Amino acid sequence: MVKIVTDSASHYSRQQAADSGMYAVPLMVTIDHQSYRDYEEITDVQLLKKINEGKVPSTSQPSIGEKVDIYNEITEQGDEVIDITMADGLSGTYQSALIARESCDHPEMVTVFNSKTLCVPEHILVAHANQMAQAGRSKEEIMTMLEKSIATDDSFMIPIDFQFLLRGGRTNNASAFLGGLLKLIPIIRRTDDAKRLEKYAIARTYKRAFGMMMDHFEKRGVDSTYTFCLAHAQNEELAAKAAQSIRRRFGTSVKIVVMPLCPSFIVQGGPGCLAFQTIKIIEK
């Protein structure tokens, strides 16, 4: 049997994953030299409160030792592991998982998958992989689904405060300066190689920003068979406006998944930011 392992960037706490028969290792948020586990020791609301108090948080990837222990626990039972991590380049979780794989007792039974995404699309990939695993599907079948599905992913973000992206090294000084100087709405897109974020466009209104992103989706073949993914840093109003724009463009029956961002991603995107993404699950 296959067991699914992931990180908290997929919006699974350790308990939520365990309840579904999976394993999740939390990312870490550090504030004033003290580290907190995603969801377990700090929530998005608690983090935003600390940011509003002037605290400057940072993040780190899951413990390699914790991953090794999980891999050993699963493989000692005779099961195989598929560890689905957030995008390599945007985080060190993929590289850490590779190190953990080489350090565990049965590396030949562990497959580490670079999802090349994060937030809600990663959550959807993990959930579907787990459904397949629980149904007794093979590692090869699950990996085929992951590879084909991730090719349909596209990811944008609207930051409210560019300084968080700048501190995290996810964008460059010029982009941060431009967004701050003009007081317009910057649109950031994950590059096709999924290794960094880059400035896509600047809009004068959120309505125009949503339209530009959806124009891009349509040019890439996105239609009502895709799942639209919205993740926000306690900005339900902006997420609701984005959902309305999606339904106007793609129909009222289109599937939209809205989730609050995990604490570790808020550290990178900043308060109020919105991730606007698409994905389609393809098994064959």
Tokens 């999976």 identify what position? 22
Residues for the chain: how many in total? 284
CA 278 to CA 284: how far, in whole Å? 19
Burial of 227 (0-12, 13-18, 19+ CB in 10 A): middle
What share of the chain has pLDDT > 70, as a percent? Answer: 92
Convert the pLDDT of each residue in 57-112 to its tens digit: 888 777 899 999 999 999 999 999 999 999 998 888 999 999 999 999 999 999 99
DSSP readout, 112-125? EEE-S--SHHHHHH
State if pTM tops 0.95: no
Tokens 């899951």 identify what position? 62
CA 262 to CA 45: how far, in whole Å? 10
| pLDDT score for 5 | 98
CA 109 to CA 105: how far, in whole Å? 9
272: left (phi over 0), alpha (psi -120 to 50) or beta: left
CA 37 to CA 263: how far, in whole Å? 9
β-strand partners of 275: 157, 231
Reference 14, options 67, 81, 89, 82; nearest CA is 67
E strands, the chain, are: 2-7, 23-25, 28-31, 34-37, 58-60, 80-85, 110-114, 154-158, 185-190, 197-203, 227-232, 255-260, 274-279
- Digit-by-digit pLDDT tens for the chain (284 residues) are 999 999 988 999 999 999 999 999 999 899 988 899 998 898 888 988 888 888 888 887 778 999 999 999 999 999 999 999 999 988 889 999 999 999 999 999 999 999 999 899 999 999 999 999 999 999 999 999 999 999 999 999 998 766 655 554 445 544 544 545 456 888 999 998 888 888 889 899 999 999 999 999 999 999 999 999 999 999 999 999 999 999 999 999 999 999 999 898 888 778 899 999 999 999 97
CA 243 to CA 254: how far, in whole Å? 10
What residues contact residue 279 under an 8 Å CB cut-off, 6+ apart?
117, 121, 124, 125, 149, 150, 152, 153, 226, 227, 229
CA 75 to CA 82: how far, in whole Å? 11
Burial 156-186 (b: 16+ CB within 10 A, else e): bbbbbbbebbbebebbeeebbeebeeeebbb
